Structures are given as C-alpha cells and as structure tokens.
Amino acid sequence: MRLDPPIADALDKIALMPNRIGGAPPNVYFVLGRPYEVNAYNLSQGKRLYAWFGCKSCHGDGRGGSGPGFLDGWWSYGPEMVSIFASIRDGRPHGMPAFGDKMTTDQIWQLAGYVQTIGSYEGKTAAPSRNDEKQTRPAENRAPAKLLFDEGPTPVHRDQGPTP
C-alpha cells in the first residue's frame, strides 16, 4: 500500500529502447517479484484507476474508441509492462496524453499491469473479475481477448502478441 519513496524512485527508472518500444524495467521490479503483474490488489487498484483517470473515454472497456483497443492482440508499442508504463507516463503520439504529472509511479505501474491484463489471452489468477456495473464484455479474469478476438488480426503482429 505504501511504496517507500526510494523504491518508487527506482521503479520510475525504466530502461526504454531508443524507439521507446520495449525495454527493461528496473531491477527492483524483479526483486519485488513483479508485483504489478501478479498481485491481485495492485491489479484491482489498476482497474479503479482506469475508471478514475478517464481511460474509458478513449479506450472504452478495452475494445477501444477514439483510442486503440487492448483486446485485439494489436499492441502499437508492444505488450511489455515497460512499454505500457512509458505510454501512460510519457504519452504517445496521436492523442495519448502523458499522465506522469497526474499519477504517482505506483499508480502508473498499477494501471499498466491492469491494461496488460485486459489484453491477455490467458485469464490470470490474480486478474480482477467483473465490476458492479453494466456488463459490456467478459471480465479480465476470463481473458476477454481470447473470448472476443480469438480470430482477430493477431497473425499480422505475431511478434507483438498479447502474451509477453
């Protein structure tokens, strides 16, 4: 719940490739045991942040809108956590704003973990289940990407498939 400031600082220092796609998270991320991918609390907090920070207005429930969707196996910048983290923190061309000044490092990681989970083809044990609201698609723990877009355009970007 409370990330010590030095750890938060360290978690902020991701190593991105020059094209800002892919890279490596800081070592501390692995030391902590990839908490933003496997910890159910972080993922469910990520889901709340997804709603609170208005991600829905562009990305909908994950199927996209004015922004790209996450369920179709098409990751514009790759499915790695660092890429998603960088997209949220620094923004991306064509309209993705930077959230680095609106969210803390901890929150960005939580949100990144959740976003990656939406597009996952395998339901994670720790993934959140449905919300108490109108149902638009199967919840993340049931791997909606697999249910909804199994025959989607995956082959085109096989190298950037949904499972990191």
- Residues 6 or more apart in contact with residue 41 via CB below 8 angstroms: none
Nearer to other proteins, 45 or 87 (CB): 45
Whole-number Cα distances in Å, 130 to 60, 144, 157: 15, 11, 29
Q: Which is nearer to other proteins, 30 or 41 (CB)?
A: 41
Site string for other proteins, 2-41 (x = CB under 8 A): xx-x--xx------------------------------xx
Q: Taking the complex as a whole, how short is the minimal distance between the CB of residue 80 and other proteins, in angstroms?
A: 24
* Residue type at position 19: N
87 contacts other proteins (rule: CB under 8 A):
no
Q: Which is nearer to other proteins, 2 or 158 (CB)?
A: 2
Query: Are 47 and 39 in contact, with CB atoms under 8 Å apart?
Result: no
Query: For binding to other proteins (CB under 8 A), which residues are involved?
Result: 1-3, 5, 8-9, 40-41, 43-45, 48, 52-53, 101-104, 106-107, 125-126, 128-135, 138-139, 141-142
